[in-house]
């Protein structure tokens, strides 16, 4: 996830060519960067099996990811107002678009190499690049029209349904019923709506912010200066932070090994699914799943890391599973 890498504020006074930044916007962007890095760190911990499960992929994790992405896209809209609100600045706009588009291409290439089955073909940077072009006319139309457009884009996935929209070539729209397999998916609908909402917020609120004490804030501490620096260079932070995190945590797992209980929850869920499909009773399957996983852990036979079983180990694991279910089933149906 990333956000507008170049934000300039046209002056309140009509001094030709003069522009100043709003450090508070840079600080807001830095806050979103910290949240993004925290989420990616959580994902990396699960991916490298340092935690019992990948908490970034839980419902709460998905909600956190959507909130973080949404904050960036709103800031993109605000940034477009700051950069072009008094007239299109063609050269800076094209340079910014080239940087973001190039970074998006690097993300696609890098993830295609690292995760070929789930590479990023339309993630946050791709969405920002396309949205930044589509949003330009809305910088100059009446604010209510932009607000209406934002509402329509945000609601479109719930209103539009057609089989043709499930075509892979149209996945970037986000209007189909199929969710593609990818590590970062931020389709145009509904996310472009948040960029438009940011434009509305910027056009209505920035004049007031610029004249307020908050708008006049300037960082004095090292933390504040570091935050605004990161906010001004958010694209670079986005591109660098994940490889650094993965490298550091890969070093950790090489020393400590993976968490012995990693994958336990998914194992139990898969066990219950298979057990019920083969005629088992769901309540008994759930108990047997826990019994089996505990038995496998006790005998060091819980293998979720890809290590192959030997023939004796496989037979022993099967015997433990069958034994757990048989014991639980007999106890459940025994006369009381």
Strand partners, 20: 9
Q: What is the SS3 string spanning 170-187?
A: HHHHCCCCCCCCCCCECC
What pLDDT, on the 0 to 100 scale, is given for residue 264?
84
CB neighbours of residue 268 within 10 Å: 17
Q: What is the pTM of this model?
A: 0.81
Structure confidence at residue 305 as a pLDDT band (50, 70, 90): low
User: Does 15 have pLDDT greater than 70?
Assistant: no
What confidence tens digit (pLDDT) does each residue in 22-51 have? 999 999 999 999 999 999 999 999 999 899
- Residue 20, classed as helix, strand or coil, is strand
Q: For residue 184, which of 115, 247, 243 has the smallest C-alpha distance?
A: 115
| Whole-number pLDDT of residue 31 | 96
Q: Where are the alpha helices (DSSP H) in 211-279?
A: 222-232, 234-256, 264-277
Q: What is the DSSP letter of 122?
A: B
Listing DSSP states for 217-236 in one string gives ----SHHHHHHHHHHHTHHH
Query: What is d(CA 71, CA 65) in angstroms, rounded to the nearest whole number?
Result: 10
pLDDT digits (tens, 9 = 90+) for 290-301: 888 888 888 877
Per-residue model confidence as pLDDT tens digits over 160-210: 878 889 999 999 999 998 889 999 999 999 999 999 999 999 999 999 998
Please tell me the predicted confidence (pLDDT) of residue 302: 79
Contact between 54 and 47 (Cβ < 8 Å): yes
Percent of the residues in the chain that have a pLDDT greater than 90, as a whole number: 62
* Residue 97 clears pLDDT 50, i.e. is over it: yes
């Amino acid at each position: 996830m990333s956000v507008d890498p170049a934000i300039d504020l046209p002056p309140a006074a009509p001094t030709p060519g003069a522009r100043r930044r709003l450090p508070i916007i840079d600080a807001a962007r830095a806050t979103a960067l910290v949240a993004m890095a925290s989420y990616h760190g959580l994902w990396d911990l699960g991916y490298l099996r340092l935690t019992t499960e990948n908490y970034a992929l839980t419902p709460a994790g998905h909600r956190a990811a959507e909130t973080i992405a949404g904050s960036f896209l709103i800031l993109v809209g605000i940034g477009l107002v700051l950069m072009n609100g008094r007239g299109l600045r063609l050269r800076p706009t094209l340079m910014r678009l080239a940087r973001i588009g190039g970074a998006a291409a690097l993300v696609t290439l890098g993830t295609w190499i690292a995760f070929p089955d789930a590479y990023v073909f339309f993630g946050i940077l791709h969405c920002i690049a396309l949205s930044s072009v589509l949003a330009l006319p809305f910088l100059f139309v009446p604010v209510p029209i932009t607000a209406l457009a934002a509402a329509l884009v945000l609601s479109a996935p719930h209103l539009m349904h057609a089989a043709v929209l499930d075509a892979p070539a149209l996945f970037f729209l986000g209007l189909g019923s199929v969710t593609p397999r990818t590590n970062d998916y931020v389709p145009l609908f509904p996310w472009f709506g948040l960029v438009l909402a940011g434009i509305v917020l910027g056009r209505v609120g920035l004049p007031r912010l610029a004249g307020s004490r908050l708008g006049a804030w300037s960082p004095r501490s090292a933390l504040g200066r570091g935050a605004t620096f990161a906010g001004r260079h958010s694209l670079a932070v986005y591109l660098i932070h994940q490889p650094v995190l993965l490298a550091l945590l890969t070093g950790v797992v090489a020393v400590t090994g993976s968490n012995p209980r990693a994958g336990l929850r998914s194992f139990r869920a898969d066990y219950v699914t298979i057990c019920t499909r083969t005629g088992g009773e769901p309540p008994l399957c759930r108990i047997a799943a826990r019994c089996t996983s505990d038995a496998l852990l006790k005998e060091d036979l819980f293998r979720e890391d890809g290590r192959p079983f030997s023939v004796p180990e496989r037979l022993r694991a099967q015997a433990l599973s069958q034994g757990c279910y048989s014991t639980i089933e007999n106890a459940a149906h025994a006369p009381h």
